[in-house]
Every structure is written in C-alpha cells, then in structure tokens.
Amino acid sequence: MVKFRGIMPANLLPFTADLAIDELAYRKHLRWLADTRGVTGIVANGHAAEVSSLSREERTRALAIALDEVGTRCPVVAGVYSDGTQEAVALARDARAEGAAGVLVFPPTLFMWGAQEKPEMVLRHFSEIAAKADLPIIVFEYPPASGIGYSPETLARLAEIPHVCAVKDWSNDIVAFEANLRALRATGRPVAMLSAFTMSLMATFLLGADGAISGMGSVVADLQAELFEACQKGDVDGARWINDRLDPLVRVFYAPPFVDMHNRMKEALVLLGRIPAAHVRPPLTPVSATEREAIRRAIVAAGLPVTT
C-alpha cells in the first residue's frame, strides 16, 4: 500500500509587511487546509512557500509551526530544496528531528547541465539522503525540457530505493506523465504517483494518479479533492463539471510569467478572506491592480465567495 495518496496541498507562507513569517496568518491557513475534506497531508517548505527565500532556520520554524498546528490531524511533509547533497541531508535530518512524515526532495539545479546523461548522479543524491536521513522520500519530477527532469528509466531506478515512497510528477506533459506512471507501476513497488500537473489535473487523475501535491491546493483543496473523488468513482461528467470550475483559476494563476503563480495565489487568499495580505519576498514582485482584478473575476467564475 502506498504511504501518501489523495490531495496534499503545498501551503503558501504568509508574510508580514516587513517580510517576516506571519505566524497567525500561517496557522489560520494551515487549519483551513487540514480541515478540508479530502486533504490527506500538507507539504511545507515547497515552491508555494517561497522556499528559495527561506533560511535554514526559517524552514525549520515554518515546519515546526505546521507540525504544531496540524501535525496531529494529517501528515506534514517537508520540502528539501538544495543544490548540494550534504545540505540536502542536513535539511532532511532537520525534518526528521522535527517529526515530519517525510521529505519532498527537489532536484539540484546543477542537474540541468547534463545529469540526464549521468543517472548515477541522481541515484547517488537520493541514496545518500535515504541512508543518512532515514525517512520517507517523495521524488520531485520536473519537466523534461527544464534539463532537471528524470527519465522514466531513472524514476524506475529511484523507485527501487526503499525510502522512496512517491513521485511528485510535474513533467507538465501528459505523454511524459503517462510514461513515468507506467515506469513506476512496472517496478511493482508501492510508490505513489502524485500529480503536480495542475493545468491538466483531471487528465492525470483519470490516467491513474494516486493523488496530487499542488500549490494551487492552497486555494482550492476542496475542489481538487472533489475532482479526485469523482475520477476515482469513474464519474466523468461530475469530474468535468468540477474541472470547468477550476479552469478560470488555472488560467489566471499559470498565465505568463509563470514565476508569479504563487504571488497570484496569495492574492486569491486575500480576496477569499483567508490571509490578511499578499506580501512576497524579493526578487518576486507584487501583482498589478489589473491582474488582481483578473484574479477576482476568476474566483467569481469558479463560484467561490469573494469577501474583500
């Protein structure tokens, strides 16, 4: 049986005006996620939490807050974002010491310079984290075009590492997603396929994904859970109806430039009355008033209640 499945939102991380972690707003956000029917876990310190801007101490604190607030209600997985294996091991050990249910391991950006031709680099990276940190690992699969995505063959070899229990697949290509899914299933190991292909979430669910890890889940975990449930039941018409509700939000969140996706999601949480402000850390910049209005229209089109 797979360890992780279902809808696992990657939480957003609210900041105060001076760009410190807004603990009160963060706790409220985490409670909403954990209280949402169908949410089976939460991922802290992911892209959605602007992890690249967080110090090691802030990552430890953000994880500690999540575990304190909702850790008794659902598993909390910690993102491990690092370009070096030694630091990745240290971050994974931090997560284990705090009590995380597992780690989501990002690919080092160094891999974009040719690691696809040297899978032994990838295998060594994950094997060392597994051996030295000793907790469940979710492999983060990036789009192949990025240069740091793993081939189906490499994913299958990673799945043989006993600590690897899931893949978060953000291949962003439905053909690549299916190839990766088939490669994992062929190993015979209980490794979950968790979709991060939010722009085609319904398609990945119908292909057989075991769930999803999604920053957009911070805004619409309830709708994603309903979509997953409908697909699991084979209720394609019901799934299409939910997918149509999600579509305006997908289009506004993931419009160019892609780098602003989580900024826009923060703005959506403000409009929904779930966090007080949408502060983001540089080099990210706030969205424009015009774009904020587009987000408002998308929320209304999705049938969600704008409160501010």
Q: Which of 71, 29, 69, 40 is nearest to 219 (CA)?
A: 29
Domain parsing of the chain, residue ranges: 6-235
What would the two tokens of residue 97 be?
Answer: 């010491």
Please report the pLDDT score of residue 255 as a whole number: 97
pLDDT > 70: percent of the chain: 99
- The angle, 0 to 180 degrees and rounded to 10, between the axes of the packed helices 217-233 and 236-253 is 160
Which superfamily, per CATH, for 6-235? Aldolase class I (3.20.20.70)
Q: Which residues of 233-245 are buried (b: 16+ CB within 10 A; e: fewer)?
A: eeeeeebeebbeb
> How many CA within 13 A on the CB side of residue 69?
23
Please report the pLDDT score of residue 86 as a whole number: 98
Q: Which residues of 175-196 are buried (b: 16+ CB within 10 A; e: fewer)?
A: ebbbbbbebbeeeeeebbbbbb
Phi, psi dihedral angles at 208 (to 5 degrees): 125, 15
pLDDT, average across residues 226-245: 98
Q: In what order do the strands lie in the sheet with 102-105?
A: 6-9, 211-214, 192-195, 164-169, 137-141, 102-105, 76-80, 42-44
Q: What is the mean pLDDT of the chain?
A: 97
> How many CA within 13 A on the CB side of residue 110?
11
Q: Is the pLDDT confidence value at 264 over 60? A: yes
- The angle, 0 to 180 degrees and rounded to 10, between the axes of the packed helices 85-98 and 119-133 is 30
CA distance 149 to 142: 4
Give residue-wise pLDDT tens across range 4-51. Answer: 999 999 999 999 999 999 999 999 999 999 999 999 999 999 999 999
- Residue 176's region, left for phi above 0, alpha for psi from -120 to 50, else beta, is alpha
Per the DSSP assignment, residues forming a β-bridge with 102 are: 77
Rounded to the nearest 5 percent, the helix, strand and coil shares of the chain are 55, 15, 35
Give residue-wise pLDDT tens across range 83-118. Answer: 999 999 999 999 999 999 999 999 999 999 998 899
Residue by residue, DSSP assigns 28-61 as: HHHHHHHHSTTB--EEESSGGGTGGG--HHHHHH
CB atoms within 10 A of CB 160: 11
What would the two tokens of residue 29 be?
Answer: 């956000």
What would the two tokens of residue 159 be?
Answer: 């799945």
Please report the pLDDT score of residue 1 as a whole number: 53
Q: Which of 241, 267, 250 is nearest to 214 (CA)?
A: 250
What would the two tokens of residue 15 be?
Answer: 């900041």
Please report the pLDDT score of residue 307 as a whole number: 87
Strand (E) or helix (H) holding 257: none
Please report the pLDDT score of residue 308 as a whole number: 73
Give residue-wise pLDDT tens across range 143-196. Answer: 988 999 999 999 999 999 999 999 999 999 999 999 999 999 999 999 999 999
Continuous H helices in 234-260: 236-253
pTM equals 0.97
Q: Are 80 and 49 in contact (CB under 8 A)?
A: no
DSSP state of 17: T
pLDDT, average across residues 62-81: 97
pLDDT band at 3 (very low <50, low <70, confident <90, very high): confident
DSSP state of 10: B
